[in-house]
Every structure is written in structure tokens, then in C-alpha cells.
Amino acid sequence: MDPNNLPIHQIADAIAPSIRKAFISNVRRLRLTVPRGPEVRDALARGNTLAVSAALNWREFENKFVFAITPVLLRAALAAGETIAAKDHLQKADDVETLTDRVFRFIRDHPFFTSWVLAHAAIFVRRVSALSQQAVLEVIAGLTERGVPPAQAEAVIRSVIGLNAKYGRAVGNYYHGLRDSGQYTDAQVLAAVDTYAERVLRLQARTHARTQSMDAANAGLLATWQMAREQGLLGDDSQVRKDWLVTPDERLCPICAPVPAMGPIPLDWKFVLGNGDTVLHPTAHPNCRCTMRLVFVGKDGRFPVSPPVQPFKGKEPPKPRNLKPL
């Protein structure tokens, strides 16, 4: 089986387009709320960055985006639980069909599952919103500092909404670079910024979609294992554990590569990442494709050893030169 394309990746990839579309359409709707008119021009002219940002309807963006992605994330989490846990249980259960039936009736009706997804979706969306508000403030500050006319400033602000600070800065810098060069008309500059910002928005959307779909699918795995354990369908911590799987694509990721060295850990423990953060399940960073497997204790009382992962070595030091003889 291709370790870059496990069933968990297929589940994540199947829902990723819905997350991408929900993000883009809600960002576009939010962009329409960029205030226009004399008051905003006045605020921009006075350098009142907060007034401009505060006029945007971030709250509505958050609500609509959460509303759009919650059922999608729930679908991924449930599908992951169903597909993978069923497969894992095959090794243990005598009557597989009855067992998987019982587990899935249970997780579907279990409030924990839905509440995890709701909480997760809300946290994710607030973060996206907070990071973008920061990006917008930063860009407005740059625009007012350089005395950009309000009509142009409005267009640039609009194209930064929805992006995080790094991406927003890239758009802002691109605008200032073109404008400062003095080689283009205002219309040419704005058209070029618009095209570039569109590319950046699509990249941002893709990252959110990839990461959140994997995160939800992994959460579904873990929740299903935990619930199966509560139901007495799996053994306790001494018999069953979770193990971090780094996809070969990510072998050199300094955040993920060291994790499997921890070995299998109890379901409720947290994995320690290469950057010192701790998580209950992957993902570990934007675009992370890691997942987990369930491992059972062997007859010798030990858990199977994780597949070896090439550790992150960083750059090799330069080779010493041959010394000339004296």
C-alpha cells in the first residue's frame, strides 16, 4: 500500500474541495463588506487603521464559515472512524460485522464526536479570522503610512482579506513594489495585484483544506478508538496504543520526523513534536500528511516497533580542506 495515499488520505482528499470552496466563497463575501464612502476615506486619510478593519463584518464571516465546514469535518471524522477502525478490529474480533455495527451506531450517536468537531471548527475559523485581521491591519498601516490614495487602498485591502499575515504581507509588498517603480499606471498596478492576490488566496485555501481535512480524519480515528475502548471492544492501555505514522513525503519534516521515536503511546497521551508542542493526534503543522495506526501488544508483552524514519539531519558541515605540508 502506498504510504502517501492511505485510506485516511483518501477520506481527507475527498472532503478537501468542500473546505476550499467554503473558505473562498466566504472570503469573497467578506471582501464585499470593505467599507466605501467618505467616512472610510477620511479614516484612511487620518491613518485610523482600526476603524477600517472594525467596519468589516468578521463575525458574519466566522459564523458562515463554521456553519459551512462543520458538517464536512464531521463527515470526514466519521468516515475515518468507520473505515480504519473496522479494519483494525478485524484482527481482534470474532464477529466483525456485529462489532463494527456496534461501534458505529455508538459513535454516530455519541455527543462527544459532534462536540469535538464543533469546537474544532470554531477554533480553526477564529484563528483564520484573527490571523487575517492582523494581516489587514498591517497592510492598512503600510498603505496609510505611504499616503496611498483611499480608492487604491480600498482595492489592496480587499485583496488581503482572508489571508494570513505572511501572505497578506506578500500582496502588500507586491503592490508597493509596482507602485514605487513608477513604470505602470494605477490601473495596471491594481490589475496585477488582483491577479497575484487571487493566486495567493487559492494557495491559502488549499493549505487550509489539506490540513483541516487530515486533522478531522485523524480526530475521527482517535475518537473511534477511544469509544471502542470505552465500550469494552478494545483492551486497555496495556494492550492497545496509538502510533504516529509519518508519510514518506514528510520524512525530512523537523516537526514530525522525531515523533515516531516515542514509540506507541496510550490513546489519551499526547505526542511530543519536534518543535516541543504536544498534540493528541496529527496534524502537526500546515499541510501535514501524518496519520496514526492502532497497535496491539504482542505475545511477548511488547508493542511493535515503529517503522524507521529517516531523522532530520539538517545541512551537512563543509568538508575540511587538506592541509598543506609545512
Q: Which is nearer to Zn ion, 68 or 222 (CB)?
A: 222
Q: Which is nearer to Zn ion, 43 or 253 (CB)?
A: 253
Q: Which is nearer to Zn ion, 93 or 252 (CB)?
A: 252
DSSP letters of 21-40? HHHHHHHHHHHTT---SHHH
Q: Which is nearer to Zn ion, 227 or 290 (CB)?
A: 290
- Cβ at position 228, least distance to Zn ion in Å: 25
Name the one range near Zn ion by CB under 5 A: 17-25, 135-143, 148-156, 282-290.
Answer: 282-290
Taking the C-alpha atoms of residue 146 and residue 2, their distance in angstroms, rounded to an integer, is: 52
| 3-class state of residue 236 by DSSP | coil
Regarding 200 and contact with Zn ion (CB under 5 A), the answer is: no
Q: Which of 62, 154, 215, 250 binds Zn ion (CB under 5 A)?
A: 250
CA angle 77/82/85 to nearest 5° reads: 105
Q: Which is nearer to Zn ion, 195 or 275 (CB)?
A: 275
| 3-class state of residue 51 by DSSP | helix
Helices (H), ranges, the chain = 7-31, 38-45, 49-54, 58-80, 86-90, 96-109, 111-145, 150-160, 165-181, 186-230
Regarding 273 and contact with Zn ion (CB under 5 A), the answer is: no
Name the one range near Zn ion by CB under 5 A: 113-121, 132-140, 210-218, 277-285.
Answer: 277-285
For helices 111-145 and 165-181, the axis angle rounded to 10 degrees is 20
Contact letters (x/-) for Zn ion, 285-324, by CB under 5 A?
---x-x----------------------------------
Regarding 228 and contact with Zn ion (CB under 5 A), the answer is: no
Regarding 284 and contact with Zn ion (CB under 5 A), the answer is: yes
Name the one range near Zn ion by CB under 5 A: 54-62, 112-120, 123-131, 283-291.
Answer: 283-291
Q: Shortest CA distance to 78 belongs to which of 97, 115, 111, 104?
A: 104
Total residues contacting Zn ion by CB under 5 A comes to 5
Q: Shortest CA distance to 223 belongs to which of 99, 70, 78, 92?
A: 78
**Residue 257, CA distances (Å) to 143, 182, 217 in order:** 41, 47, 20
**Residue 29, CA distances (Å) to 22, 33, 267 in order:** 11, 7, 41
Q: Which of 155, 209, 256, 295 binds Zn ion (CB under 5 A)?
A: 256
| Interface residue list for Zn ion (CB under 5 A) | 250, 256, 284, 288, 290
